[in-house]
Structure 1
Amino acid sequence: MSRTITVGFDGSAESRAAAEWAAREAKLRGLPLRLLEVREPLPDPVSQALSLGGENSSADGGDRARSEAAEGLRLRHPGIEVTAEQATGRPYEVLVKAAEEAELLVLGSRGMGAFAGFLVGSVGLAVVARAERPVVLVRAGEQATDEHEPDPAGIPSAASRYRPVLLGVDTDRPDEAVIRFAFAEAARRGTGLRVVHGWNLPPYYVHGLPADPETYQKVSAEQAATLTKILVPWRAEFGDVEVTEESFGGSPSIRLIEASRESSLVVVGRRVRRNPFGIRVGPIAHAVLHHSAAPVAVVAHD
């Protein structure tokens, strides 16, 4: 069975923006697009009352909206195969299951303004925390032009080059799945990759001892060298991707959020925790999810 780009669709503005982004991604990857609407089952007495009263307008309206959305995507993105389906169940459980069968799961999230980032709902967070395939969150209002550099007149244009892909790397635990995903996305877009790594000074430097510029410079050089070493095989494999490295003292969250304004996609990792209780995505991924100005891809890894 061929994998798809699957998007959670409910007819809202955020899910429509997610579907448009997913269609563009499907075209880049040469994969089919699947619109999936999840409906929670109604309690039996309510279901029976609706059936007896012939009140099926809500379901019919949802089917019609989904079909019309699929047809619109086919027209706006010729060449991609689009299917539209409906499933019944708890939304996050159905979407997590759908992610297992997909190359990529795309979800919409309410935007908070051009530079204020996302408002991630409980379903989105639950899916990101549990899915073991990559999940992309897209803000309502996201446009194709937002992913591209301004044209010579200073106006973002879908005809101009893609903005760089942005990757956050943990040099203590670098993961191949996260790095490969970011390099591949940059290669598909024919754009560069900006790699950000934040590090902290050793505890003895922070607590109680006088500041030592030489120690800071030494640690800084070591961290930068570690990042460069990690990226060597990936630079070789993806030779056409121009890579910019940025290693600095401090948390990478703020730098990633700031750099997201000039990026087409932000890629962060999430360590897989198979604990059935609680929702955890990690502090860096959580901060980026809520404040990024660009779509965010969360890639799960062991």
Structure 2
Amino acid sequence: MLRPVIVGVDGSAESLAAADWAAREAVRRERPLRLVHVWNWHPRQDGEPATAAQRHLARRALRQAEDRIRRSCPGVALDDAQVEGPATAALLGAADEADVLVLGSRGLSGFTGFLVGSVALGVVARAERPVVLVRAGEEAADEHVLAEDGGASTRTPYRDVVLGLDLGDPCDEVIEFAFEAARTRGARLKVVHAWQPPSPISLGPGDIGLVDESRQAEEWLGFMTAVLQVWREKYSGVEVTETVTEGRAQSVLVRAASGASLLVVGRRITERPAGPRTGPVAHAAIHHVGCPVAVVPHE
């Protein structure tokens, strides 16, 4: 049985944008779509799991999302579910059943980034399946290049999919997700690696730190080409560009994702004393990148 694309909905603008994006992704992946509403339930003394008002609001939020999706993606196989909170735990449970989990994030004005709620951050930090965060206001045309007259269109080609690749830890799960995203869109895949001059205790893969500094970018690019070779062969129909840039990974990726249809980054699954974390690169991406961001967990 195919895993569904699952999206959390609560009636907010950001969750509705996420639901629309998730429906389009389900069509691209040829997967069913499931809408999930979570009651932020705090048990009452009598043990009643939800009031009539809560049930009504849940049904209304789901119906609102369903109506939008039926209009925009009438062919998608769709179902819904109501689950009891707390929200982070409930969505993590949903993620375990998902091909990909989609959540919304609220846009902020100017260039200050995006407000990502504690629930979304908690899910991203702990999920063992890919999670995509979609900003409020995201529309189908935003995934496509502008038309010749400069207007928005869904009939033009998709914008690039951007993969932030850590060549110090090039994980198959992250690379495959990005190639598959590019394939289903017919989009170009732009692979980006940010490098900094190595410290005396960290020479980098292939002892790149031993190479003259003026040639290190060339060495990183050669290493990237070698890492991607098997994926280029597997996804021979995907156009790939490779870029290595000196600088902090967070800043490089935010710039590279400008104008993209999707940014893909990885997150290592670790148990730290202070609890799971998104990591600095994923953290910067989900707060400051305007396009949808896929965070792919890996060992």
Q: What is the TM-score of this pair, normalised by structure 2? A: 0.91
Work out whether 1:106 is the aligned partner of 2:117.
Answer: no
Choose 67-76 or 290-299, whichever is displaced more.
67-76
Residue 47 of structure 1: CA displacement?
7.1
Residue 274 of structure 1: CA displacement?
3.3
| Paired AA for residue 199 in structure 1 | W
Work out whether 1:90 is the aligned partner of 2:93.
Answer: no
| Paired AA for residue 187 in structure 1 | R
1:78 counterpart residue number: 74
The aligned runs of 1:97-246 (5 Å cut-off) are 97-113=93-109, 116-203=112-199, 215-246=212-243
**Residues 9, 61 of structure 2: 8 Å contact kept:** no
Secondary structure of 1:26's match? helix
The aligned runs of 1:260-271 (5 Å cut-off) are 260-271=257-268
**Matched pairs, number:** 290
Residue 117 of structure 1: CA displacement?
3.6
Secondary structure of 1:106's match? strand
Aligned-residue Cα RMSD (Å) equals 2.1
Residue 44 of structure 1: CA displacement?
1.5
Choose 130-139 or 80-89, whichever is displaced more.
80-89
2:24 counterpart residue number: 24
1:257 counterpart residue number: 254
1:185 to 1:106, Cα distance in 2 relative to 1, 3 A = same
Secondary structure of 2:241's match? strand
Work out whether 1:247 is the aligned partner of 2:275.
Answer: no
Residue 125 of structure 1: CA displacement?
0.8
**Residues 112, 118 of structure 1: 8 Å contact kept:** yes
**Residues 163, 189 of structure 2: 8 Å contact kept:** yes
Secondary structure of 2:270's match? coil
Q: 1:14-41 CA distances to partner (integer Å, 9 max, x unpaired)? A: 0000000000000101111111011122
Secondary structure of 1:44's match? coil
Q: 1:259-295 CA distances to partner (integer Å, 9 max, x unpaired)? A: 2221000000000013474241111111111000100
1:282 counterpart residue number: 279
Residue 71 of structure 1: CA displacement?
3.2
Secondary structure of 1:203's match? coil
Identity of aligned residues (%): 46
Distance 2:141 2:109 in 1: 16
Q: What is the TM-score of this pair, normalised by structure 1? A: 0.90
| Paired AA for residue 229 in structure 2 | V
Work out whether 1:299 is the aligned partner of 2:296.
Answer: yes
Distance 2:111 2:214 in 1: 33
1:114 to 1:100, Cα distance in 2 relative to 1, 3 A = farther
1:295 to 1:46, Cα distance in 2 relative to 1, 3 A = farther
1:120 to 1:96, Cα distance in 2 relative to 1, 3 A = same
Q: 1:171-217 CA distances to partner (integer Å, 9 max, x unpaired)? A: 11100000000011001000100011011212259xxxxxxxx9222
| Structure 1: tracts of 5 or more residues without a match | 206-213
2:14 counterpart residue number: 14
| Structure 2: tracts of 5 or more residues without a match | 202-210
Q: 1:23-77 CA distances to partner (integer Å, 9 max, x unpaired)? A: 00001011111110111223324877x96xxxx3343133123123213312320
Distance 2:53 2:39 in 1: 14
**Residues 58, 82 of structure 2: 8 Å contact kept:** no
Residue 221 of structure 1: CA displacement?
1.5
Work out whether 1:63 is the aligned partner of 2:59.
Answer: yes
Distance 2:11 2:178 in 1: 29
2:208 counterpart residue number: none
Distance 1:84 1:9 in 2: 10
Distance 1:277 1:88 in 2: 26
1:40 to 1:57, Cα distance in 2 relative to 1, 3 A = closer
* Runs of 4+ with deviation above 6 angstroms: none
Q: Which has the larger radius of gyration?
A: 1
